[in-house]
Structure 1
């Protein structure tokens, strides 16, 4: 089915040359998820939509959506360029990872969520505006676990429902264990109190309400390791940008 002359919001994920003068542009849209658009004449000098198909451009688009094949763009309006991300290789890596993470999250079914689209755009906007890219990404990683069928209990001990810590994370039990039940899982992640505190906070925080971030380097390192362990062990996806981020963090920490 083809939806003609429809209006939607989207953020450009990637693009590549196609044939002599055209491009294939992947856009994460609010209504149709990830779609690939054939943009004819995109490589010609003076192409009128050139700004609208640059990576990390957020805009309102009008065009035709093909459920099964390539879609098309007619016109655009309200363009916003994430300039800082385009100019910084590290910020670019985090933004790329976020978009690829969302793409994996929507491979499991055809459900399109406006809430998740808005959350993704808010995350990329926050990174572009100077908020700590790792922490913003970690917040989205924690909240996205449910999209992969992993829904950890971050609120209380999964055994006794106790709300008093210290806590640790158990993959086997699918959530937190309080200190009285640490003995039940020798393979728990052995996280320090600060890391657990932030993981719990990340699970409920609204990215749009964050104005400042002040997390120490050691805690950031521990958060990255914890989430890598959870994603490797319980989600099992590979995203190329994540490897670059991990190498970058190795140099930073």
Structure 2
């Protein structure tokens, strides 16, 4: 079937101007994966569907979904915008990074299954004030499988033990218990707390998360470990990740008086 009119749930990933007054809008759909929609005259004042095509918007859409090429929208209802994300440059960057991870992992038009609801929940949690880095870290850990990298987070890859300290080994593609640390002198030397969270993140349903409170030192360690895994084992870096790193570097240069305090940071995962 070349085309079909469908009602579907969607999340606006990005948009760009097209021709004189039109717009291209990329939407993550619950049924068809990522699709690019052409909206004629979308940049004209009074465009009827304007509220439903803003970045970081969740809505129900009605339109012509084509297997290849551009698709088209005819109606939008039940529009909800993630306003805090839209108005905060840091939250915006983390939400864009989450979309970027999925965008690079899945080709357009391929259904993403579980990921639609997981990403919708991730945006909801970020929008309601939960720590955006930790939410992005959960997505990073779980998205590894989509990139063909599926570390063993269950226990030691050699003997399955979980009762000894564990560390991550790129060479072995997962965790090594202390008995086998000598087998990989280049293991990541991750802290026990970071390993605890990485194991939890690998199976975490974000719909069950109510609070996040992770100490800054643990957050820094999680970032270090996941950056190494993505650089060495995945090899992709969404544009938003570079922006986040630049923001972090800028914040590190601020005098302590201008940095957010621990009480201002919704930072150890609690359920």
User: What's the TM-score, normalizing by structure 2?
Assistant: 0.90
Partner of 2:126 in structure 1? 127
Cα distance in 1 for partners of 2:43, 2:251 equals 38
- Answering whether residue 220 of structure 2 is matched by residue 221 of structure 1, we say yes
Indicate the residue corresponding to 1:95 in structure 2.
95
Q: Size of the alignment, in residue pairs?
A: 252
CA distance in structure 2 between the partners assigned to 1:160 and 1:23 by the alignment:
55
- SS of the equivalent of 1:75 reads strand
Cα deviation, 1:23-48, whole Å, max 9, x if unaligned, reads 11111111111111110110111111
SS at match of 1:14: strand
Question: Which blocks of at least 5 consecutive residues in structure 2 are unaligned?
Answer: 253-271
1:114 aligns with 2:113: yes
Q: 1:110 to 1:52 in 2, by over 3 A?
A: closer
Alpha-carbon shift at residue 65 of structure 1 (Å): 1.1
Map Cα deviations across residues 82-141 of structure 1 (whole Å, 9 max, x no partner).
00000000000000010111111113x964133111111111111011110000000011
The match for 2:6 is 6
Q: Which residue of 1 aligns with 2:66?
A: 66
**Aligned mates of 2:239, 2:98 — CA distance in 1:** 11
Aligned-residue CA RMSD in angstroms?
Answer: 1.3
TM superposition shift of 1:250: 2.8
User: How far apart, in 1, do the equivalents of 2:239 and 2:115 lie?
Assistant: 22
Aligned pairs for 1:1-253 within 5 A:
1-107=1-107, 111-252=110-251
Q: Distance in 1 between matches of 2:157 and 2:114?
A: 28
Q: What is the CA–CA distance in structure 2 between the aligned matches of 1:160 and 1:4, rounded to whole Å?
A: 52
Once the two structures are superposed, what CA deviation does each residue of 1:150-196 show, in whole Å capped at 9, x if it has no partner?
11111110011111121000011011000010000011101011111
Give the structure 1 partner of residue 262 of structure 2: none
**C-alpha displacement at 1:18, in angstroms?**
1.1
Determine helix, strand or coil for the equivalent of 1:228. helix
Give the TM-score of the pair, scaled to structure 1. 0.96
Q: Does the CA-based 8 Å contact 2:38-2:70 persist in structure 1? A: yes
In 2: Cα distance, 1:132 partner to 1:168 partner: 25
Moved over 6 A (4+): none
Q: What's the secondary structure of 1:4's corresponding residue?
A: strand
CA distance in 1, matches of 2:183, 2:148: 23
**Which runs of no fewer than 5 residues in structure 1 stay unpaired?**
none
